[in-house]
Structure 1
Amino acid sequence: MESIQSSLQKMMSGEKFLKQYEKMKHEIFTDPIINEFIGKNPQVSLEMLEKSLPKLDQYRKELNSCNNCPGLEKCSNLMQGYKPRLVIERNYVDIRFEICETKLKIDRQKQQQSLIKSLYIPKDILEARFENIDQREELRMAATAAALEFVMEADPGNHSMGLYLYGKFGVGKTYIMGAVANALADRGIETMLVYTPDFFREMKQSIGDGTLNQKLERVKNAGVLILDDIGAESLSSWIRDDVLGVILQYRMLEKLPTLFTSNFDYEELEEHLSYSERGGFEQLKAKRIMERIRHYTRPVYVDGSNRREQN
């Protein structure tokens, strides 16, 4: 039986193989990409190039793919998302791979998105950006300016001052907070956006499945916490005192900023928080919660046309 080595020698000495080899060699040596490398590296000899033909062929094909980038998902390179670079190793030309700009950009976006954690927040809010906010109405401009100022000064663990955006339904309070979260992600600051009514409803359900403390800890420790639409929830004394109160007390002590959106101003929210499901009002307990909100947030009124009616 003929050995593999012998079979290879016969194949490589065959006329068809030699023609294909010479064709590939001609294509490589006349390729502008390879000639550019040779021009920059005059120490490269013909012998080195001939020994490195497979690498040179791979390099020119992959670099051409990079120069006509089809996007990361359709990248045909051996190492998807990596750009080839020729290097000289002793008497041989080899390939090294470097992460390309397309992959860098996508990885950066994924990293930023991982800094934004959300509970029950719509996708369009998570993609909000300050540059997309309609600034034609003066009172919305004031709110946007306050939000931008917060983003620039935010320093979780050292500075606990937050924002309290309030105003009528649909004027863009939540969208502004989404823009805040994305701008903070650009700075590498973790943000959690929470739609308060659904979150409080889940906390009630968590008593039965034993996940209450785990979920409470997650929200308490967020670098920046945004409680969206506070005051829209069905409130109970337990939610007010043992969930909201615990969260705000912890964040106050740890100097972690909390931001709010609401249809209520401070006084209206205090009245809402004083309601007791047992009947009557618990004004003192509501005042304790509001003291933490008032002292650690800047109130900003948001006005303008209803964005939902425009869509």
Structure 2
Amino acid sequence: MGGRGEYTVKQIGEVVKPWLSRRNVQAQKDFEVILKHPALQAFIREHPEIPRSFYKRSVNALKQWLLEKENCQKCPGLKACPNMIQGHFTKLTDQLGYLEFRMQPCRKLKVYQENLQAQSLIRSYHIPKEILESSFETIDFDVGRVDAIAVAIDFCNQFAMGKPKKGLFLHGSFGVGKSRIAGAIMNEIIQYKKSSYMVYFPDFMRDISESIQENSLHEKIDHLKRVDVLILDDIGAEYVTPWKRDEILGGVLNYRYAERLPTIYTSNMSLDQLEEHLAHSAKGSVDWLKAKRIMERIRHFVIPLSVNGPNRRAL
């Protein structure tokens, strides 16, 4: 006993006791400073049921709580958040004689997450950014398209009570704003948690062959079939082959008809002109019967809307 490097319990106590005393004095000083903080005083007034001893035992937790509260008051933005967990603030709770903090997501994080969720509801295929960002707040309600816009808004409002019984067929000449109205619909129905898929139809049909080689055709077609609102943009501008018309377009529309899922179309053609277009294949063959079958899934399940006005792309 008593060899070099060995300490008795009494010797250890003589070393540790002054250190503990200094620590307790410092903790008391820290506590007195923290106790005067306006935020903590406000918390104490809101929670008179919490004993003073709880606060005294929880100095470190209180320091962290106050630090993060001050960070939030000088918030530098979600990306630069200096708190322990980005986008969160601490909430004090009493637990077994101590005050502990629980992490809570802040308003900015919630908004960010809501925006991510909203973005996930919108899918697109070769659609310009300005169309995807379109809204009814930014569209001009001019005479040539005010009626079409009104019906489009009513289409969106029907999701509050279920879903529309019919889709829309927006037709008119180049550049009158058909696609912008369709884009505004996509962004409007987000509030009803409805998904949408806007497809530039000529590019989609042209890329079908490539999808077969990549073994991704089934997945792409499945998206078109099942989405809450499908938007086929510029239908009638694509090259038609019998297989693409009957198996791809026909298959999608048959499924959506059976499931009563609304489809929106934009086109430079009227319904009658579209039927004629679908009857003629790229190789010169004509099949009116097959075209009429496709049109049966379009004509009777849309509200035709004429969109007029100047070519805004040329302005």
Aligned to 1:112: 118
How far apart, in 2, do the equivalents of 1:39 and 1:258 lie? 58
Distance 1:91 1:264, change over 3 A: same
* Aligned-residue offset at 1:259: 0.5
CA distance in 1, matches of 2:94, 2:58: 10
Out of 29-38 and 43-52, give the one that drifted further.
43-52
| 1:130 alignment partner, SS class | coil
Q: Distance in 2 between matches of 1:119 and 1:139?
A: 28
- Identify the residue that residue 46 of structure 2 maps to in structure 1: 40
1:46, 1:284 → 2: CA distance?
85
How far, CA to CA, are the matches of 2:6 and 2:313 in structure 1? 78
Corresponding residue for residue 218 of structure 1: 223
Q: Deviations over 1:214-271 (max 9, x none)?
A: 2212211111111011111122222111111111111111111111001111122122
Provide structure 1 residue ranges, at least 5 long, that are not aligned to the other structure. Answer: none
> Which stretch shifts more, 114-123 or 208-217?
208-217
Matched residue type, 1:117: R
1:82 to 74, 88, 104: 88
Alignment of 1:86-235 (within 5 A): 86-135=92-141, 137-154=142-159, 160-235=165-240
Q: Deviations over 1:30-54 (max 9, x none)?
A: 2110110112223444432221111
More displaced 10-residue stretch of structure 1: 235-244 or 22-31: 22-31
Deviation for aligned residue 1:97: 2.3
Q: 1:65 aligns with which of 71, 82, 85?
A: 71
Distance 1:216 1:18, change over 3 A: same
> Contact 1:160–1:258 (CA<8 Å) still a contact in 2?
no
Give the distance between the partners of 2:257 and 2:162, measured in 1 at CA: 10
Q: What displacement does 1:180 show?
A: 0.7
Amino acid at match of 1:53: V
CA distance in 2 between counterparts of 1:12 and 1:142 reads 80
Looking at structure 2, the residues matched to 96 and 177 of structure 1 have their Cα atoms a distance apart, in angstroms, of 44
- Within the alignment, does 1:303 sit opposite 2:308 as a pair? yes
Corresponding residue to 1:251 among 248, 252, 256 = 256
Give aligned-pair identity as a percent.
40
Number of equivalences: 306
RMSD between aligned residues: 2.6
TM-score (norm 2): 0.88
Taking the aligned partners of 1:83 and 1:123, their CA distance within structure 2 comes to 35
Query: What do residues 101-131 of structure 1 show as CA deviations (whole Å, max 9, x unaligned)?
Result: 2111111111111111111122222222211
CA distance in 2, matches of 1:233, 1:279: 14
Which amino acid counterpart does residue 116 of structure 1 have in structure 2? I
How far apart are the structure 1 equivalents of 2:194 and 2:161? 8
Give 1:280 deviation, angstroms.
4.2
Task: State the structure with more CA Rg.
Answer: 2
Return the letter of the residue paired with 1:51: R
Q: Aligned AA for 1:128?
A: S
Following the alignment from structure 1 to structure 2, what is the Cα–Cα distance between the partners of residues 297 and 218?
20
Match of 1:268 in 2: 273
Structure 2: distance between partners of 1:37 and 1:286: 72
Distance between the aligned counterparts of 2:44 and 2:133, measured in 1? 47
The C-alpha deviation readout for 1:187-218, integer Å capped at 9, x for no partner, is 01111111101111121222223222222122
Is the contact between residue 156 and residue 257 of structure 1 (CA under 8 Å) also seen in structure 2? no
Change (3 A) 1:155 1:272: farther
Q: Which moved more, 1:243-252 or 1:274-283?
A: 274-283
Provide, for residues 171-200 of structure 1, a one-character-per-residue CA deviation record: whole Å limited to 9, x for no partner: 211111111111112101111111101111
CA contact (8 A) 2:239 2:281 kept: no
3-state SS of 2:207 partner: helix
What is the SS of the residue equivalent to 1:171? Answer: coil
> 1-side partners of 2:135 and 2:28: how far apart?
56
Query: Alpha carbons of 1:117 and 1:46: their partners in 2 closer, same or farther (altered >3 Å)?
Result: same
Change in CA separation of 1:156 and 1:215 when aligned onto 2, cut-off 3 Å: farther
Structure 2: distance between partners of 1:286 and 1:66: 62
CA contact (8 A) 1:157 1:256 kept: no
**Equivalent in 235, 241, 245 of residue 246 of structure 2:** 241
